[in-house]
Chain A
Amino acid sequence: MKDFLVNLLGRENVLHESAALAPYRDDYCEADASDPALVAFVTTTEQVQAIVREAARLKKPLTPRVAGTNVGGLALAPAGGVILDFTRMNRIHEVNDTDMYAVIEPGVTQQQLKDCLKERGGSLTLGYSLAPPHTSILANALLGGLTNRSLKYGDQSQWISGLEVVMADGTLVRTGGWALQGVAPYGQVPFPALTGLFVGWAGTTGLCTKMAFQLWPQHKFNRRLFVLTYSPRGTFEAVRRLVRREFCDDIGGLSWPSAKMMLGVKHPHPEPAPGEPTFILYVDLTADIEEEMALKERMLNDVLASVRRMEERIEEPLDIHMLLKVNPAMSPFAEFPTDLEFLTNHGGGGLSWVGTYGPLSKFEAGIEAGTKIMVRHGFAPMIVTRPMRGGHYGVLRFVEIFDKQNAAEVERVKVVNHELLNMCTELGFVMYKTPSWAFEVLKPRIDPGMLGLMRTVKDALDPHGIMNPGKLGL
């Protein structure tokens, strides 16, 4: 395989020495490290097709990878496998300002597309995940990740309007708007929704080499307001009332440890300080005229006042720019995409989470139970929440940072994540970007018909089992 890759890509685009492969052994999370045999930097669809054909012939596993910022081991290759690094396959093929979509390759990053849209006049925006600016948009979309436009439009997979996929035999498939020649990928067409064969599959059914996806209008005025709340009930009653008024662009909730870490405390005590807010909600408002913004602010205050009448303590909204004047350490939350260095650059190197989607009605119960679990294991309860898709569901995510070199700490993360996953599942939350360990935990609860169909689809699309094997129990 090595000679084939060197011939195809050139020596400079193939890594095989252990020192060069080291960054590909693991990601942020607690998953066991695994040594790939080779890493290949691809830049064209034709190269990917050729590699897949050769891998199928040799029955060599292929694992796609871009930024390496996954926290579930999904881009780790099995020992001896080949990693296809898509970071250099990063062309933006098209931005359609009128029909509001973009066509991008896997290596296109959040920052890259943001800069591109800005250069074009800034009439459009995309949603940004809380992952670093160099994160792949395509990977987040294929894994059903969320962004700061998910309150309005759902997770990023719901914005995909077309995929170009290299199948396990090297053939090329185009889905969505691209299914009909001459049709622009403005949205899903009324054909069978085969894009779904590659969304949420963690690269186990094919390798996506191009994605068309929807962009959203960028408004003239933007305000980010922080609201301090003092109980889960008050927090999520406010969230549920806000989403039904349909005037917020984004509502994010961060539990108190997240704010402390941003302000320089590496390891907050698991218990809050006396009088500490429970959550910090950040509310994004946008408008095209000043009167519209003023009305939205009035509506926000009206909703918060209605929750205060339930005997809940909620502070008045604080503008991010005012907070920045008080303490510039808040700057990571001033603009997205952002690098939350307190998560990725804390010295220990480890970052893990149990991130789930579930109904807003269960958020208080999930937070209460999850907090108890995290505190019992000595973790400050770092929790991230956000209502999605108009409030039909939301994300509830429990985050831990840890020292990857400390075996006992790694073990503690595994234990706490198992408990959190079981608790969340009991309450009706479903883990997204599901790591292999979590899929095994969930397997007994997954409908047997669904599991059987997954296996049938996998066998049909990837008969030699070369596409990111081991993920999703496949």
Chain B
Amino acid sequence: MSRILKPVCARNVEYVHQVVARYFIDEHEFRIVEYNLGNAFTGNIDILAADTVSLFLVTINRADFAGALLRSLTGYRWFCENRDFLRRVYPPEDVNIDLPVELIILSEEFPPEIPSVLGEVCSVPLRLYRYRLFGQEEDPDIFVEEICSEGTVDHGPSRDLDALRKELAIEPAGLSDEDIRDFLKAMKV
């Protein structure tokens, strides 16, 4: 017997943010630094998260994708302009504000070809996730999948290796991407 889950539109925005945050914590081992950073006038970030090598500015689309994209980009600009302030607010032992930044946009719908379009125009790494809420409006379940067009939006691997070199302060050794990949592969059981 199959169970049919009907999409719902959760009214409580804060709750949706927390459900999305839980997804990133569980699935990607992100650490949530802050919710609702900045303001709507100068740019805001729904969730500021981090892992060991990157900071993530997460925007959750609640209306139209164009608005969410603009919000994400202005949020990024706000973040860059206020880095000094953020360094004072968040001590280095909590989060390293100087880590490389990635943008994340979650939306229920995306315009066609948007991954490849953004891949061509964005210099900042950007990830797109489709999400759906199911169940009850007051207590929804979430479904999330990453939308990725290979060679377009995903700047991941080489950027990750640059961040890794920086994190370990091993740039002077001149290890190439291939060196590092070979090493990591060799160390796997």
A and B held together in a complex: no
Chain A residues with a Cβ under 8 A of chain B: none
Chain B residues with a Cβ under 8 A of chain A: none
